[in-house]
Amino acid sequence: MTASQGSRQIALVGCDEAQQATWGNRLRLMGCEPASFDTSADFLLAVTGGSQFGLLLIMLKDEGAWPILTAMCKALRIPICLVASASQRELLIEVLSAAGNDSPGANIDFAVLPIDDFELELRVRESLRRNETLLHPQSVSAFFGDYQFLGSRRVVIHKGTEIRLKPREFELALLLFRNAGRLLERDWLLASLWVDARIERKSRVLDCCVANIRRKLSLHKESGFDLHSVYGRGYELRHLPTTSLGDDDAHAHHRDDMNGHPGMNASGFPDTSNEPVWIGETARARA
């Protein structure tokens, strides 16, 4: 198996039959290949045998394998998406605290049941994308209309002007653009972008970050992208189609046609987010 193939294989550990069927089907629609394991020991055996995985999607259980499991994933740069029930809050906090998030490729995201298809897909895509950015930052280059994101420099180029963003501003802006038209809940944004800090929901740190992005990138109607806040819930970047194409727009449109879709980076690794190529794959799979 090549590295690129391994990056698209997702390990499902400790899931019941219904979860294996439902989540496995969703992952296939995303262009990923699920591989199910009954226990962490089975997964570790496969990894030590040479199997490669882009993500570990695991149900939280009170077992003694967590130190070994997280250490192995850190060493191999495999991000973890941990799914727990509401009654497992204390165990979840314990596991996350013990695992830490201090190594590249060792990020741990988590979700609490019930989890719908949209949330599952968003978490998987962002975990894969974040890991790819950490491992190969120079390969991340994405276009959205007049906006070009350069991951290696944390720079956004807008109509020929370079705009430098702080690391979390860059991650948040890229997340919003990749999910334009979707409402991103503030709890999820806080948990995803401030994983190493204890940020309370009422904190204004996210709102300040959003305000900086809106100002620096001029996200208003005239730019074609308008950043909206939805009171008590989160933020949504809305794409407003322009009535006519100028020279820059025509160039961007031609560039998108050449690249296949606006989110394909130079390395050929699809950006793991809600972009046209994924929508197309989903539509074909359902046909």
pLDDT tens digits, one per residue of 13-53? 999 999 999 999 999 988 889 999 999 999 999 999 999 99
Give the pLDDT score at 160.
85
Give the pLDDT score at 281.
32
* pLDDT tens sequence across 205-249: 888 999 999 999 999 888 889 999 888 888 999 988 755 444 444
Domain ranges, ordered by start, for the chain: 3-134, 138-286
In single-letter form, the type of residue at position 275 comes to E
Q: For domain 3-134, give the CATH number.
A: 3.40.50.2300
> Does residue 279 register a pLDDT over 70?
no
Q: For domain 138-286, give the CATH number.
A: 1.10.10.10
Cα Dmax for the chain:
61
Give the pLDDT score at 254.
36
By C-alpha distance, which of 128, 134, 232 is closest to 178?
A: 128
Give the pLDDT score at 34.
95
> Does residue 172 register a pLDDT over 50?
yes
270's CB contacts (< 8 A; 6+ apart) are 31, 263, 264, 277, 278
Q: Does the global pTM surpass 0.85?
A: no
pLDDT band at 58 (very low <50, low <70, confident <90, very high): very high
Asked if residues 284 and 33 have their Cβ atoms less than 8 Å apart, the reply is: no
